Amino acid sequence: MTAPLDRPRVWPGQPYPLGAHWDGRGVNFALFSLHAEKVELCLFDGTGARQTARVALPEYTDEVWHGYLPDLRPGQLYGYRVYGPYEPEHGHRFNHHKLLIDPYARLLHGAVRWHDALYGYRVGDARGDLSFDTRDSARYVPKCVVVDDAADAHHWRRPRTPWRRSVIYEMHAGGYTRRHPQVPDALRGSFRGLAEPAPVAYLADLGVTAVELLPVHAHLDERRLVDAGLSNYWGYNSIGFFAPDNRFLTRPDPGEFRLLARTLHDAGIELLLDVVYNHTGEGSELGPTLSFRGIDNASYYHLNPQAPRHTRDFTGCGNSLNLAQPRVLQLVLDSLRYWVQQMGVDGFRFDLATTLAREGSDGGFDPGSGFFDAVRQDPVLAGIKLIAEPWDLGPGGYRLGGFPAGWGEWNDQYRDTVRAFWRGDAGQVATLASRLTGSSDIFPNHGRRPTASINFITAHDGFTLRDLVSFEHKHNAANGEQNRDGTDNNLSWNCGVEGPSDDPVIEALRQQQMRNLLATLLLSQGTPMLLAGDEFGHTQGGNNNAYCQDNAISWPNWTQLEQEDGAALQRYLRRLLKLRERHGVFRRDRFFSGRSITASGHKDIVWLNADGSEKADHDWQAEPHLLACVLDGEAGVEHLGPQGQSRRDDSYLVILHAGAEAVVFHMPPAGLGASWRRVFDTCATDGRGDGLSLSAGGECSLPPRCVQVFERLGEP
């Protein structure tokens, strides 16, 4: 007999799996809390406005509170109230007056509505966070939704693109289609809109192999932003690690994300997620009590060992998740597995990843941390792409090159060196040579490959490509922080005028500089990452920190593809991506050695002076704006099948000239090639080389600021 929902039956249930799980007959609830004294499950009607029942979870096993309700069904709304000591001086902030979000909730109903009742202490009280607030927060908190787990069983046809063939395209899941003319109005800004035929076909035609979405986990808009009429557009403020953000759903159905994953896979495109496990949206000890803080503050967060009242902030966001706590580590691993197995994700980029490996009383970075060990041995995550943002704001937080084997890392040194070189800075050539060849000085150990270097010139954080060549200073007034936010170290050059210009000479120079930067990126060893919209010149008006701009500042303007400059740049990038895809010498799986690799004595790479001679050690400072090398085709050999078939690539001469004056370059001597044909040139709007053939030692006049690629004709 079924009990009325205001007095639902409750059975002991099981402590695993954590979260709310429908088994076809009822729902099992399980919540970790090491220090709680009691946990109540609160049930709500379909609107989320009225509480229909409150049930104490009857069992506590292995630090998990649990109970089974046979009368509940998928779609049920719920939340938790957790009882325990309110002792901020000891790190405990239990307050049963606050409704709490299940960390394992797979769907949320509603959104946070800011009110002082959301805080565990009385806002404005002279005692600050030592005071205790008794107001009920339920009306202001989103409700968790029980989902049908049976619908989560999927078999994914993953592209499984090798790292050496990967080209990542970073985008915002919503903003990308907000102005897309071929996406129906009702679907713009959603997962379904991104899965529409036009955006997917565009991505496939462009030649990218993986889409990397900015955070799509349920997130929180900070109170100060809401008060200012803004929002956290980027979403780096997670409040749940399983639930997709409602702003990307057209209806309350996680299946819309799965549709996107399947659609991208069918087009041969991998789906990567930018994930934020380093902190939560609850902020510092002065932040709201929405979930983790009220469930078990002392377990979930790094606290100051000398003063546990205060959180340790390695992230600049007020708190840091403590993955040294086994149950918190379990939460992160369970979340990763969920998005891989049930949602079809092919990889992750970990925001401020250094924080994930901070352990011990000093909170230091540990390359042998439990997080790294757990990920390394997990069979579900085997073969999944793992990318670190290898820094945070804590002590010793910059760890580029310090992540374990199997990880890719955002290489900001690549970004800065390439920007500085094309800005015209002297002293960059020697460092640029290393960056172009995969940064072996940064990734030398543990069998790591050039592909460990995630090369990028622009990303969501900073100038777009167009703004990089149009602004020397940030213009962030729209963010409401008096232009104090965002970096001042842009390493940009405006080509003579700050901001938009009608001068055709300046505009032509800006277009060529964009082509130069893109060519450098795609001709470098490593894994390239592009920023969505850069391929047609999207501008944010000089805003280099558009995290709170959910508007035309951030949304790509697709009408730019209807303009000649935008269309030409897009065609150029497409040609460049095809060049990279066709030739393994531009995407090697091994570092260059600079030594002979064939019986004929040819080196895999030879660095050249402008007179065609091979560089000696004393030559690296002689030509501060010119870098040239020959990539031998033998270095681009690719193995094509299980029987060991291989294909030898062509040999290429690559020249990067960032100087403001034309220079004469002499073709390499006959020992490196009898003759050379120009096949790529950034002076042409489409990048197409003019086919000019030059014999060994012949003279080539290089215009200012250009990239040229020559193919060797025949064997030397």
Active-site annotation, residues: 351, 389
Residues 6+ apart with CB under 8 A from 96: 38, 40, 81, 82, 83
Structure tokens at 421: 């070189």
- Other Cβ atoms less than 10 A from the Cβ of 7: the count is 11
Q: What is the CA radius of gyration of the chain?
A: 28
Alpha-carbon distance of 120 to 143, in angstroms, equals 18
Nearest to 343 by CA among 245, 199, 237, 207: 245
Q: Are 514 and 569 in contact (CB under 8 A)?
A: yes
Integer Cα distance of 363 and 94 in angstroms: 24
Q: How, if at all, do strands 364-365 and 385-388 pair?
A: unpaired
Query: What would the two tokens of residue 411 be?
Result: 């290489």
Distance CA 485, CA 465 (A): 20
Reported as half-sphere exposure (CB side, CA atoms, 13 A), residue 627 has a value of 25
Which residues are paired to 519 by β-bridges?
A: none
Encoded tokens for 417 = 């060196």
CA dihedral 405, 410, 415, 418 (to 10 degrees): 30
Q: Distances in Å between the alpha carbon of 91 and those of 87, 88, 364, 566?
A: 6, 5, 20, 55
Query: What residues are paired with 64 via a beta bridge?
Result: 32, 61
Among 685, 135, 656, which residue's Cα sits nearest to residue 433? Answer: 656
From the number of C-beta atoms within 10 Å of its C-beta (0-12, 13-18, 19+), residue 599 rates as exposed
